[in-house]
A and B are shown apart, each in its own frame.
Chain A
Amino acid sequence: MTRMKRGRGMAASWYGIARTATIDRAGAWAELDDGGTAKVVTGVTEIGEGILTVLAQIAADELGIKPQDVTIGDNDTARSPEAAHAGATRQTYMIGNSVALASREAQKALFEQIAEHWDVPFESLRAFDGEIWALDTNLRMSMSDAVATCKKRGVVPVGAASFTAHGTGLDPVDGSGSPWQAYVFGTQVAEVEVDTWTGEVQVLGIWAAHDVGRAINPRGVEGQIEGGVVQGLGQALMEDYQTDKGHAITHGFAKYILPTSLDIPQINCTIVEDPDPKSPLRAKGIGEPALVPTAPAIMNAIYDAIGVRIKSLPATPEKILKALRDHVPGREHIAQAAREARAQAARTNSANA
């Protein structure tokens, strides 16, 4: 028997965006500021996922300036509007949309003044990357000049907005309800190599395809997928917080094993964009969903490689070796029955549903 055995497995998944089975909400303020810069203030932002940059991109795009010219004021319950919490794959969706709406308000205040100043229809105005212009004219100026003009006319271009996601609670008896207004789906394929002597599993490749609605920053989306995959891999193969009568026996990183650079598969991301019809940005989210299919895809791949199914995570070398020893060949007889039944159905041409 060859020692090293390879196999592949896949798993699909789904996930809801923003808070579950409740109304979710987030607020933001925006101001087009001197020099064609902007201040955007909102309640909660970065926990590492890159949301600050995403919000700056959104504000910049809506206002017609550059992301690096956006200053985000955030994370202070006494100085910024409520945006609730950093979790539930809700930041791009909830806060992103509220920043977009607040920025639109601020831009509208500016555009109204510039339209009058240039004597052009409001609708003809466009702004991008620090410039404002009127369609079908030669009128064009920097956003810096536009803000100065607006202020000379007595108006500070500010906006405020709140964004709502309408989830409903679940019925206490049958659980019926509409917990989210936006869903995402994902699929991952894993390729593994199992050392049948030691029980070690190496994940060599992951192909991760995830719907994110609309990728505001594709590289950031990849970063979320890669991080999620590796956390899923850790849970699949090694991580295990153990207690004995309530006392932790994995009380440091020497005992609690985490994935390191040597455990990392090549991660191949495919971003799928199925725009959300219910929000101005049409983006959804990726933070949590990226992790969901990884562990089952790896377990399915282990099965493909060595014919043992690990149903109890993590698939440690000890478990793999034990499973290999206890292995009883699987479901061949059922598969045979299924083949026969289908062949029979095909012969009699009767519907089999």
Chain B
Amino acid sequence: MSKLKIEAEVNGRKITRETEPHKRLLDFLRDDLNLTGTKEGCGAGECGTCSVFVDGKLVKSCLMPVAKASGARIETIEGLATPGELTPMQRAFHKTGASQCGYCIPGMVMAATSALRENPAADIEEIKERLGGNICRCTGYTKIFEAVEMARSVIAGDLPETVLEEDKVGDSYIGANVRRLDAPAKVSGRLKYAADMKLPDMLQMQVLRSPHAHARILSIDTSEAEAMDGVACVITSDDVPGTDGFGVFVHDQPIMARGKVRHVGEAVAAVAAEDLVTARRALSKIKVEYEELPGLFDPEDALKPGAPVIHDYAPGNVVKHIPVRKGDIDAGFAAADIVLEDDFSTQQVEHAYLEPEAGIAYVDPDDVVVVISPSQNITHHRHMLAEIIAKPINKVRFIMSPVGGGFGGKEDMIYQGMLALAAMKTHRPVQLNFTREESLIASAKRHPSRVHYKMGLKWNGRITAIEFNMLSDGGAYGMSSEGVMRKAAILSCGPYEVDNLKVDTTAVYTNNTPSGAFRTFGGMQAQFATESMMDMAAEALDMDPFEIRRLNMMKIGAKTHTQQTLETASLDRVLDAAETASRWETGAPNVRGAKRGDLNGPDTRKPCTLGARIKAETKSKNDAERVA
């Protein structure tokens, strides 16, 4: 391959490098210059984690061919302050707690720095606008806004520099706003996530994924790929030496498809090669013959007699059903003055952690198979991998690299097994970094849910009975479905003491992208239905929504839906706190928005003139050249 000569000024130093012409500025910075503070969150100009300055302008380096950067003056997160120092902006991020997982933070600091360079007096509306091309999945942006405003005021001299320092501690560190100890590493881009790490002699892995939702694998021919120059190994499920299968509750998922594929994007084979390009090319040389099978795409279809069977061990396609019973449901409804009945549904949701899955595996000199990855459950992964590769447990070591957002989505061991197999086969370090597209199709989602709800109440607002039935699409593999159904069932009817209830939650297999653990683990799906019903009941009964909840709430000594006696209960206090803080105007929820007197307070933001999302979308389209 002919090389391209790049001469540029990077962080104040002249550099000259030969590089591959296909590279983006992002690759050049990360791979050739080791400036890994600039992250790849999406590779498509949509997230801002790759933001750098080129000739003083904020650009997304994933959209710029490296050739275009030749001769330019480039500034990255590493160049904002002299090593060991932080700029006022970085210090403000540290002070306010604006970095959580940190993966968006270098890009966010660049965008924020750009905002103030463009307009040192930018107000909050302008700051928000100028940060509009940068996604943060962790913080809810609020502390980021606070940091940028703080930095602006310090730089302008409106606030003393001492506001950036840590608050004084009283007589205990419990309850103190100690600044995050990991923030300096995150705001400076110094922290190495798995994709930022390099080991000597390391191979790059790429994964061949299923194009079918449900198909039998008739044959896999890897010979041509294996024979390629630069390919170190190709692996399939045939390479698994032990008992294949992982999952949080049921070990129904093989490291790579075994005999059949159950969802689009499932791993079928993987290549480890000297470099990424070779690994990608080798994938196209692997020949897989499939026989397509009828697929299941709706959870209700999965329960019909004669439905295709996704897993032999579960002929009815049920992953898990959790029943909860209390009291006498018939008597409860018979005693009701009114009965409300309705249906609710929630969608599949992506975790969208800014750090796509990434990892490294190697075999250490003592024959320990080591996997470094942002795994949320190294303990369980170690157990499962030991079985899969048939090694004693102390010969398997998991190291959790800094996690660039998890939210439950990094609890599933969807790629660590492949890395381990390739490392064992080659005895070289192997790295796999997912693309955003790969992350989207291969990782678990929040369970979509359908709830049928029946609630009986007395005229005075007291609930007499609840019937709650949830059906959830678990997708192709069990992952966390069992636990999610359990938590949904336990929490189902909300924080109210209900004497008579009948709750059922069921997750089924389909050929959709698997559902798994996601922050609240079924709790939000269930309580979305309950809290909607509570307001509908409040309207029907002409009661204030706080009032109907207080009337039914669990107190100390209450029996929960699973008949546990509560020894503490704070719903009374949080209801009071929210009601007071929001200056809530009492009244039934009967579309009284137009008449309310509690709207538009100083504790709300101003509406945007345009729909916020419309604005954000159009903006990200032409962001590459946008001057912030």
Contact residues in A for B39 (Cβ distance below 8 Å) = none
Instruction: With A214-B174, A226-B140, A228-B140 given, name 19 new contacts (CB 8 A).
Output: A6-B596, A11-B535, A15-B491, A50-B180, A128-B171, A174-B326, A176-B324, A183-B566, A214-B175, A222-B143, A225-B140, A239-B349, A239-B350, A246-B512, A262-B615, A266-B604, A312-B344, A335-B588, A338-B337
CB–CB A313/B346 < 8 A: yes
Q: How far is the CA of A195 from the CA of B142 in the complex (A)?
A: 24
User: Nearest chain-A residue to B588 (Cβ)?
Assistant: A335
B290 interface hit (Cβ, 8 Å): no
User: Nearest chain-B residue to A194 (Cβ)?
Assistant: B593
Contact residues in B for A291 (Cβ distance below 8 Å) = 519-520, 524
Q: How far in angstroms is the closest Cβ of chain B from A218?
A: 6
B-contact 0/1 string along A162-184, CB 8 Å cutoff? 00000000101111111100111
Contact residues in A for B343 (Cβ distance below 8 Å) = 311
* 13 A–B pairs (Cβ distance < 8 Å), ordered by A: A20-B521, A75-B378, A87-B406, A170-B562, A175-B503, A175-B562, A185-B574, A208-B578, A254-B44, A261-B141, A272-B570, A277-B567, A338-B542
Task: Select the residue from A14, A49, A220 with max chain B CB neighbours within 10 A.
Answer: A14
Q: How far in angstroms is the closest Cβ of chain A from B139?
A: 5
Q: How far in angstroms is the closest Cβ of chain B from A8?
A: 6
Q: How far in angstroms is the closest Cβ of chain B from A344?
A: 9
B575 interface hit (Cβ, 8 Å): yes
Contact residues in A for B128 (Cβ distance below 8 Å) = 261-262, 264
Contact residues in B for A57 (Cβ distance below 8 Å) = 173-174, 176, 178
Instruction: For the complex, count residues of A whose C-beta is within 8 A of B.
Output: 167
Q: If the complex has contacts A223-B97, A226-B140, are A250 and B440 also in contact, measured as CB distance less than 8 A? A: yes
Binds B, one of A109-117, A133-141, A145-153, A298-306: A298-306
**Chain B interface residue bracket vs A:** 35 or more
A200 interface hit (Cβ, 8 Å): yes
CB–CB A235/B524 < 8 A: yes
CB–CB A185/B569 < 8 A: yes
Contact residues in B for A325 (Cβ distance below 8 Å) = none
A78 interface hit (Cβ, 8 Å): yes
CB–CB B490/A170 < 8 A: yes
Q: How far in angstroms is the closest Cβ of chain B from A47?
A: 4
Binds A, one of B4-12, B83-91, B395-403: B395-403
Q: How far in angstroms is the closest Cβ of chain B from A27?
A: 10
CB–CB A240/B338 < 8 A: no
CB–CB B342/A12 < 8 A: no
User: Nearest chain-B residue to A76 (Cβ)?
Assistant: B399
Q: How far in angstroms is the closest Cβ of chain A from B159?
A: 18
CB–CB B46/A252 < 8 A: yes
Contact of A243 among B172, B379, B512, B589 (CB under 8 A): B512
A-contact 0/1 string along B318-349, CB 8 Å cutoff? 00001111100000000001100011111111
Q: How far is the CA of A128 from the CA of B462 in the complex (A)?
A: 51
CB–CB B345/A78 < 8 A: no
CB–CB A61/B562 < 8 A: no
- Tell me the chain A residues, 3-37 only, with Cβ under 8 Å from chain B: 4-16, 20-21
Q: How far is the CA of A13 from the CA of B528 in the complex (A)?
A: 9
Contact residues in A for B171 (Cβ distance below 8 Å) = 128
- Tell me the chain B residues, 391-443 only, with Cβ under 8 Å from chain A: 394, 396-408, 410-411, 436-437, 440-441
